[in-house]
Structure 1
Amino acid sequence: MNRILLEKLQLHFGHASFRPGQREIIERLLSGQNVLAILATGGGKSVTYQLPALLLPGITVVVSPLISLMIDQVQQLRTRRRIPAAYVNSSQDPAESREILRELGNGVYKLLYISPEKLQQPYIQSVLKRIGVSLVAIDEAHCISQWGHDFRTDYLRLPDAIKHLGNPPVLAVTATATEDVRKEISQLLQIAQENVMSQPLNRENIALDLVRVSDEGERREQVLQLMDELKGPGIVYCSTRNAVEVLVASYQLQGSKRVHGYHGGMESMERMLIQSQFLLGELDVIVATNAFGMGIDKPDIQYVIHYQLPSSMEAYAQEIGRIGRNGQPGYAVLFYVEDDWQIHQHMVEKEYPTQLQVMQFFQAFKTAASANKDAWGPTEMTEEMVQMLTFYAEQTGLDQEVAAASDSGAEHVQRIWQETEKRKRLKKQKLYEMLRYVEDVNDCLRKKLNRYFGEEQVAFTLHCCSCCGLDRQAYQGDRTNTTNKKDENSWDLRQALEKLLPKK
């Protein structure tokens, strides 16, 4: 078996040997065991389920949270790895999805990437069960845990879906997981403690920097200068779409590198094009919200700038983990203005429902109108919020019959609202932990980050962090004259910038 694994690894992935932990994970999966693998960003998570898929009979189902991520990985598998793969998600019309499911039955594919929402559908479950699923891989598995920073209700329904598929072996993979998250994932997916396999979070080649600035103007000036001076390619993360647009427009007025913005408000095809350009080296810098980066396979990213405070330590660790996957020295810098936390505080308040909104949800639920947007009245209810409320209604034992028999529903409303409030408090706690990280100026940044995830490793290669001593010039290069020329478009950019900047 050892020889076969190495042959497949060389043939399809171009590697002569496994990275630490990969072989052990694969061998346990092939023996039918459930495994939780916590591998640092860039640690080779995808190999741990893509390679077993080639050796197992039937289909390997990969649950993936983002459409763009699915499309990118399937394209890479087909073109670079010569592995037959397909995806099913909401971007396809029903006829296209049915055709892929038909081809699955004919043995055309070895891997099927699917969203957690699609995997809930009884028809898809019945087709997959008939074909035979040999392995279920759950990517970004921290989404399954209510203790995780990016909890999604459809992930928590996965254990039932897996049972309907005949309980095939399960691999849960993630880059970041605290002890609480690990415990909940293991409990939900029936993973034995000895099969929780974790690699060190510490990335020795990444230097960590923290820069406190007094106001927005100073921050923008420093970040624009860094974008010009740092060796690239690189990513600049912003907390809001508006910050992305302002920074891109500001840079294009005076900078010389190829820079583009990326956020969830863009059309999906535009986002895919920008992502492809960055991967191919046609862009030097991406300025983005956290919508960008998950699953990005680009080993030569040399820096990540956090323009604003991230929402959690988990998000921060994942985003800086995209630096230096080729082992070369990389640089992560976080800029912090004292009131940054208010951005995320506002987002959290908007993300979770008020008690009035829960009452409106209950009334719509009671009349079986929860899928009808007109039933919500004038309150602002996002689709994600409705899904969350539906999930917590199910968790508290509420169904259509129970709701119909209830007069006011006050008790049910209170229980559902308490559950959402519990989740909101957890989000605020994670924000507080991130705030504590930047406010404590006397401790090593690497120690604080790793300690949060229960690790004590602090080794580094070139530099550790700004607290321990850091030569920023080591990560700077010559200004790159590429394609962003100042031409007749500068006036249009200046007008756009004036509209985006806050009025004084």
Structure 2
Amino acid sequence: MDKLHQTLMRYFGYSAFKVGQEDIIQSVLHQKDTVAMLPTGGGKSLCYQIPGYMTEGLVLIISPLLSLMEDQVERMKMRGEKRVAALNSTLSFHERRHIIRHLPSYKFLFVAPEALMSDALLQQLKSMHVGLFVVDEAHCISEWGHDFRPEYSKLGEWREALGHPIALALTATATKQTLKDTVQTLRLQQPDFHIHSVNRPNIALVKEVHETKETKEKRALELVETIQGPGLIYCPTRQMTEDIALLVKQKTHQRVEFYHGGMEAGDRMLIQQQFISGQIDLISCTSAFGMGIDKADIRFVIHMSPPQSIEAFMQEIGRAGRDGKSSVSVLLYTEEDADIQSHLIQAEGFDDPEIDFFLAQLSQVPTNDEKKLRERLMEAGLQETRARMLTHYYMMHQSEQPRVLLENLKEKLQDRQTEKLKKVWQFKERITDHSCFRQSLLSYFDEQLDQAEGSSSGNCCSSCGLDLSDYEKKDQPLELNEMKHWKTELERMFHLIKEAQH
């Protein structure tokens, strides 16, 4: 057994790699900047952890979501890795300072991209040897990607400041343009590309066109009662997640909870854990749920409305079937759905009076500190996502004359809105088309469907004659008690612990 497989067995207990992992790891070990696209569930975290164990220096992992970081840190600690930490907004000032001061004792450090704006952290990192610079969810780099994060645009600059460590960019979905943007932004040197198909053959694809919102809801209730779970229902708004969860509770036997970004962190964490441990059958959620949730046996994903892009759709259906077993994605659609998404995108935009007002706010802050500028906009009443975007474009053009700055700012914001609307209509075209749904989605990523995985396999898509009855429950569902509120549940747990100690 070679050293690579010895490391795999020693730290993870596996005797073989998943498809694509070994080639990516070998590329990093040969000191090559690497861009890798593996489907959800393909084992991306292993691609930086094994090189970390086999090489010198700190492994710095930039990750966009707290749940992703916390999940990875917990899993590494459960395997016995003590040299791991995460720097994020949940830590107190003293906790952050402790980690930064003791950074040389860590092997793996997870950070949100905005954390690298900290001079204290950057200076400490400069004094160390950063062996590997990892960008997780690298599609966030691209301005035209489905989940762009403005802070990601500075990663190339920060990487240069750290002495150009080897970079590994990881994602599950990316178009050619997104991959190109990744290379340019990170300033990669002749990178190796390891691009694997976004196709998940074990996930059957169903699309159903309905006349009204009410018929979609009725169909969703039928599906959650008949299809083998556990499952997810993705909704376009926070209110809809609550409405659907209530409807499922009233009309079915499913143990269901809702999940969205407006909930308290304690509520979200408890629901995640209950779902992972099998105490909940179904979660009605926005796109806030999914990344970093390590549950391999999700059997179905239902969309009450198409997401805003094909990339987002492929990410979300990829939550299912991570164990490789047969699963199904059901997209419920009405003609008005594209209009709903278009309205949501337009609501993110800015009219001229808003731009004038918020530019005036920014001009009153005599600083180039992007974080302070963003906070000023939020104090003035701007929602965080919109504040991040406006501050990002302002920083790009602030050296220009006020009139030119205003024109360029409006142009950038309009271009972004136009691109997002274009993605909505590209998705609509594929939904309303009668050809193979799977091939239609893959064509967006310039892929062709392997015929062995197509209609001949019998589980391709509804356009190819899929029989949904193959995914139905084999046993009758049991009626089970609903989960208590998380505070009540925690009180019960602490009470049991105290009783056990006496």
TM, length-normalised to structure 1: 0.90
Partner deviation per Cα, 1:28-63 (whole Å, 9 max, x = no partner)? 212221100011111111110111111222210111
For the residues of structure 2 that align with 1:468 and 1:213, how far apart are their CA atoms? 19
Asked if 2 retains the 8 angstrom alpha-carbon contact of 1:13 and 1:81, the reply is no
Aligned match of 2:136 in 124, 134, 139? 139
Structure 1 position 463 matched with structure 2 position 464: no
The structure-2 alpha-carbon separation of the partners of 1:411 and 1:32, relative to structure 1 and needing over 3 Å to count, comes to: same
Letter in 2 for 1:212: V
Give the equivalent residue in structure 2 for 1:390.
391
Give the equivalent residue in structure 2 for 1:275.
272
Give the equivalent residue in structure 2 for 1:13.
12
Length, aligned pairs only:
475
Name the SS for the 2:9 alignment partner. Answer: helix
The structure-2 alpha-carbon separation of the partners of 1:239 and 1:325, relative to structure 1 and needing over 3 Å to count, comes to: same
Aligned match of 1:299 in 273, 296, 299? 296
Structure 1 position 150 matched with structure 2 position 147: yes
Give the equivalent residue in structure 1 for 2:247.
250
Asked if 1 retains the 8 angstrom alpha-carbon contact of 2:154 and 2:185, the reply is no
Name the SS for the 1:483 alignment partner. Answer: coil
Asked if 1 retains the 8 angstrom alpha-carbon contact of 2:458 and 2:465, the reply is no
Name the SS for the 1:211 alignment partner. Answer: strand
Deviation at residue 81 of structure 1 after TM alignment: 5.8
Give the equivalent residue in structure 1 for 2:180.
183
- 5 Å-filtered alignment, 1:59-138, equals 59-80=58-79, 82=81, 84-105=83-104, 107=105, 109-138=106-135
Structure 1 position 427 matched with structure 2 position 411: no
Q: Which range moves more in the overlay, 348-357 or 54-63?
A: 348-357
Name the SS for the 2:464 alignment partner. Answer: coil
Asked if 1 retains the 8 angstrom alpha-carbon contact of 2:126 and 2:161, the reply is yes
Give the equivalent residue in structure 2 for 1:325.
322
Deviation at residue 372 of structure 1 after TM alignment: 7.4
Asked if 2 retains the 8 angstrom alpha-carbon contact of 1:256 and 1:483, the reply is yes
Aligned match of 2:446 in 449, 454, 479? 454
Asked if 2 retains the 8 angstrom alpha-carbon contact of 1:229 and 1:479, the reply is no
Name the SS for the 2:330 alignment partner. Answer: strand
Asked if 2 retains the 8 angstrom alpha-carbon contact of 1:21 and 1:197, the reply is yes
Asked if 2 retains the 8 angstrom alpha-carbon contact of 1:209 and 1:466, the reply is yes
The structure-2 alpha-carbon separation of the partners of 1:376 and 1:184, relative to structure 1 and needing over 3 Å to count, comes to: closer
Deviation at residue 297 of structure 1 after TM alignment: 1.7
Give the equivalent residue in structure 1 for 2:45.
46
Deviation at residue 289 of structure 1 after TM alignment: 0.4
For the residues of structure 1 that align with 2:189 and 2:142, how far apart are their CA atoms? 17
For the residues of structure 2 that align with 1:193 and 1:250, how far apart are their CA atoms? 53
TM, length-normalised to structure 2: 0.90
Aligned-residue CA RMSD in angstroms?
2.2
Deviation at residue 380 of structure 1 after TM alignment: 4.9
Give the equivalent residue in structure 2 for 1:490.
none
Deviation at residue 387 of structure 1 after TM alignment: 2.3
For the residues of structure 1 that align with 2:375 and 2:82, how far apart are their CA atoms? 45
Asked if 2 retains the 8 angstrom alpha-carbon contact of 1:262 and 1:287, the reply is yes
Give the equivalent residue in structure 2 for 1:28.
27
Asked if 2 retains the 8 angstrom alpha-carbon contact of 1:202 and 1:450, the reply is yes
Deviation at residue 296 of structure 1 after TM alignment: 1.9
For the residues of structure 1 that align with 2:254 and 2:30, how far apart are their CA atoms? 50
Q: Which range moves more in the overlay, 184-193 or 475-484?
A: 184-193
Partner deviation per Cα, 1:276-315 (whole Å, 9 max, x = no partner)? 1111122111111000001222111111111111111000
Q: Which range moves more in the overlay, 3-12 or 59-68?
A: 3-12
Name the SS for the 1:134 alignment partner. Answer: strand
Give the equivalent residue in structure 1 for 2:477.
480
Asked if 2 retains the 8 angstrom alpha-carbon contact of 1:12 and 1:82, the reply is no
For the residues of structure 1 that align with 2:466 and 2:80, how far apart are their CA atoms? 40
The structure-2 alpha-carbon separation of the partners of 1:375 and 1:457, relative to structure 1 and needing over 3 Å to count, comes to: closer
Aligned match of 1:416 in 379, 388, 409? 409
Q: Which range moves more in the overlay, 78-87 or 258-267?
A: 78-87
The structure-2 alpha-carbon separation of the partners of 1:366 and 1:338, relative to structure 1 and needing over 3 Å to count, comes to: same
For the residues of structure 2 that align with 1:338 and 1:379, how far apart are their CA atoms? 37
Aligned match of 1:217 in 180, 201, 214? 214
Deviation at residue 377 of structure 1 after TM alignment: 11
For the residues of structure 1 that align with 2:202 and 2:38, how far apart are their CA atoms? 16
For the residues of structure 1 that align with 2:265 and 2:258, how far apart are their CA atoms? 13
For the residues of structure 2 that align with 1:291 and 1:374, how far apart are their CA atoms? 22
Structure 1 position 196 matched with structure 2 position 193: yes
For the residues of structure 2 that align with 1:66 and 1:455, how far apart are their CA atoms? 29
Asked if 1 retains the 8 angstrom alpha-carbon contact of 2:374 and 2:388, the reply is no
Name the SS for the 2:463 alignment partner. Answer: coil
The structure-2 alpha-carbon separation of the partners of 1:266 and 1:65, relative to structure 1 and needing over 3 Å to count, comes to: same
For the residues of structure 2 that align with 1:428 and 1:262, how far apart are their CA atoms? 26
Q: Which range moves more in the overlay, 280-289 or 374-383?
A: 374-383
- 5 Å-filtered alignment, 1:265-414, equals 265-368=262-365, 371=372, 380-396=381-397, 398-399=398-399, 409-414=402-407
For the residues of structure 1 that align with 2:416 and 2:483, how far apart are their CA atoms? 48
Q: Which range moves more in the overlay, 132-141 or 365-374?
A: 365-374
For the residues of structure 2 that align with 1:24 and 1:446, how far apart are their CA atoms? 27
Structure 1 position 240 matched with structure 2 position 230: no
Letter in 2 for 1:232: G
Letter in 1 for 2:91: Q
The structure-2 alpha-carbon separation of the partners of 1:129 and 1:485, relative to structure 1 and needing over 3 Å to count, comes to: closer
Asked if 1 retains the 8 angstrom alpha-carbon contact of 2:374 and 2:391, the reply is no
For the residues of structure 1 that align with 2:281 and 2:79, how far apart are their CA atoms? 23
For the residues of structure 2 that align with 1:450 and 1:42, how far apart are their CA atoms? 18
For the residues of structure 2 that align with 1:30 and 1:375, how far apart are their CA atoms? 44
Aligned match of 1:445 in 437, 440, 445? 437
Give the equivalent residue in structure 1 for 2:3.
4
For the residues of structure 1 that align with 2:127 and 2:278, how far apart are their CA atoms? 43
Q: Which range moves more in the overlay, 444-453 or 295-304?
A: 295-304
For the residues of structure 2 that align with 1:13 and 1:378, how far apart are their CA atoms? 46
Deviation at residue 382 of structure 1 after TM alignment: 1.8
The structure-2 alpha-carbon separation of the partners of 1:81 and 1:8, relative to structure 1 and needing over 3 Å to count, comes to: farther
For the residues of structure 1 that align with 2:294 and 2:340, how far apart are their CA atoms? 30
For the residues of structure 1 that align with 2:60 and 2:274, how far apart are their CA atoms? 29
For the residues of structure 2 that align with 1:81 and 1:355, how far apart are their CA atoms? 55
Asked if 2 retains the 8 angstrom alpha-carbon contact of 1:200 and 1:457, the reply is no
Asked if 2 retains the 8 angstrom alpha-carbon contact of 1:205 and 1:462, the reply is no
Asked if 1 retains the 8 angstrom alpha-carbon contact of 2:33 and 2:190, the reply is no
Letter in 2 for 1:98: R
